Every structure is written in structure tokens, then in C-alpha cells.
Amino acid sequence: MSLEEEAVRREAQVHGARWEGLHHRYFSDSKVAEPLTAAILEAVDASRPDVVADLGGGTGFILKELLRRNPLEGVRLVDVDASETQLSACDDGRIERLAASAASVTRRDLGAEGQCLLLVARSLLHYFGRAGLQPLLRHLRGQLQVGEAFVHQSACFADEGDAACLNRVYGMMGTEKRYFTIDELEAALEEAGFALREIGPAPPLRLDSVDLAERYGLRGEEVASIREEVGREFGERAGVFVETRKGFTAWLHYSIFTCRAE
């Protein structure tokens, strides 16, 4: 099983019906999604795609939000996710569902040969770990024609110490997920053949240890040791990591990247 498949399997218990209620409903909140849907709709206006594919699109929330804001007549919308359970919760007949990994899905799989394709993603890149990021970005770049866009909201931090703090939390939870700095992601996108057109802010995701325990199957002792060790090593970081009475709260920061294939 690949690293990404294992990451998806590990959190399967929160997929499907549970997903949209998790993490204070971050992933089903229209206001939270607004900066990303605005960036995607700008890219739609600029490139007039025939197909919009949401990679790691989960329950299809972002595609549904796009449709709520704009009927996107004549545009095919495809929710691509490695989790069948996530896809089964996408109940909008206007959205096609494709069970596939972002690491291997092709333009042909998306039915976009000879058409204009726009790729989008929210909260996906960190699943690929340090070693998997560049191969993923190169694969995605390989599916696009020059000038086509990739708009994604990805977890990343302005500050190296904040990224290291979250990487320590996720390492202690036994995941291979990796949080990069904004500079690192910018460099990785450029190396893979993307030109970065715009970068903007997105709301942070509040992660309470009780929700992380449910998502990753953590025991009380594991939560306590993260609280203690991360607290000792990184100290209190407002808006990034704070200890609470029974555990901790962490915040995942995000930026929105509008990129074009060069």
C-alpha cells in the first residue's frame, strides 16, 4: 500500500457522513470556502474550462459551492478521491465521481482530451509527505497543457518553526503527512513547471485534540504525551499550538495558490 493509500485508510472512520461535521465543520462551511471558490471562479473566467476536476475532492463540497455561486453551464465537474466512502457522500447529480489517486489520475481518465482542463484541490498536498510532493506536482503538471490552471488551497506556514511544530504533532500521531513553509511550496511548484500567478490567505483550521483522537484513533496517553512533549519543545504558540486542560489545540494554516502550467 502506498503512503497516500495508507494515509486515507488510517482516517477512514471519519469519511462519508461524519466528514462534514468534523473540525468545527470547517470542510462544510461556505464562508470558510469563499476565498478558494472565488479564486477558482476567477480561473474559470480566465481559462473557460470544459472540465473542472477537484483532486481529493472528498464529499464534493467545494464543487457544490462552485455550483451554488455559478451554474457553470456546459462545464463537467469531477470529484476525484481515493476514498469511496467520501465519494459516496457526494450526492449532487451534476457532479461526476471518480475513485482514483491524484498521484496517478490522467487527463484521459477525466475525459479531458482535446478539451480545456482546470485542476483544483483543497487540503491535499500534505498527504504526500516530503518525498511524495515533487512526484505528485510533476504528475499533475504532466496532465495539463501549457496555460491551463491548477488552483489549490494547501496547508503551509509562513514561519519555519510553526511548520516544524505541526510536523512534530503529526509525526507523534504516527502520520507521514508533511507541512511545508509557503516558500517551500512556492519553490516546489516552480520546480514542477508551474508559474505562480497569485497567492492569498485562507482561514486556518482549528484542530482540537478530541477531534484528532477520533480521526487518527489516538488513546488518551498518546494525546497527553503530544501535549507534554510538543509543549516542552515548542512552547505555547498562539494560533498554532496551545495546551488545554485535557489535551491541546493546534491550527493548520493555509494559503491559496493560483498556478499556470508553463
Ligand X SMILES: C[S@@+](CC[C@H](N)C(=O)[O-])C[C@H]1O[C@@H](n2cnc3c(N)ncnc32)[C@H](O)[C@@H]1O
Give the count of beta carbons closer than 10 Å to the beta carbon of residue 163: 21
| Minimum distance, C-beta of residue 111 to ligand X, in the bound complex (Å) | 17
Contact 125, 255 (CB under 8 A): no
Is residue 16 a contact residue for ligand X (CB under 6 A)?
Answer: no
Q: Where does 95-145 have alpha helices with state H?
A: 129-143
**Of 43-51, 95-103, 221-229, 231-239, which part binds ligand X (CB under 6 A)?**
95-103
Is residue 78 a contact residue for ligand X (CB under 6 A)?
Answer: no
Is residue 120 a contact residue for ligand X (CB under 6 A)?
Answer: no
Paired with 76 in beta bridges are 51
Burial of 179 (0-12, 13-18, 19+ CB in 10 A): buried
Is residue 27 a contact residue for ligand X (CB under 6 A)?
Answer: yes
Distance CA 35, CA 29 (A): 12
Is residue 123 a contact residue for ligand X (CB under 6 A)?
Answer: yes
| Chain centroid to CA 62 | 11
Is residue 127 a contact residue for ligand X (CB under 6 A)?
Answer: yes
Distance CA 112, CA 49 (A): 10
**Helix and strand totals (H; E) in the chain:** 9, 9
Is residue 32 a contact residue for ligand X (CB under 6 A)?
Answer: no
| Minimum distance, C-beta of residue 3 to ligand X, in the bound complex (Å) | 9
Residue selected from 65, 81, 162, 186 as contacting ligand X according to rule CB under 6 A: 81
Q: Measured from the CB atom, is 138 or 224 closer to ligand X?
A: 138
Q: Measured from the CB atom, is 208 or 243 closer to ligand X?
A: 208
Is residue 83 a contact residue for ligand X (CB under 6 A)?
Answer: yes
| Minimum distance, C-beta of residue 11 to ligand X, in the bound complex (Å) | 8
Distance CA 188, CA 152 (A): 14
The contact set with ligand X (CB under 6 A) reads 4, 7-8, 27, 56-58, 61-62, 80-83, 86, 101-103, 122-124, 127
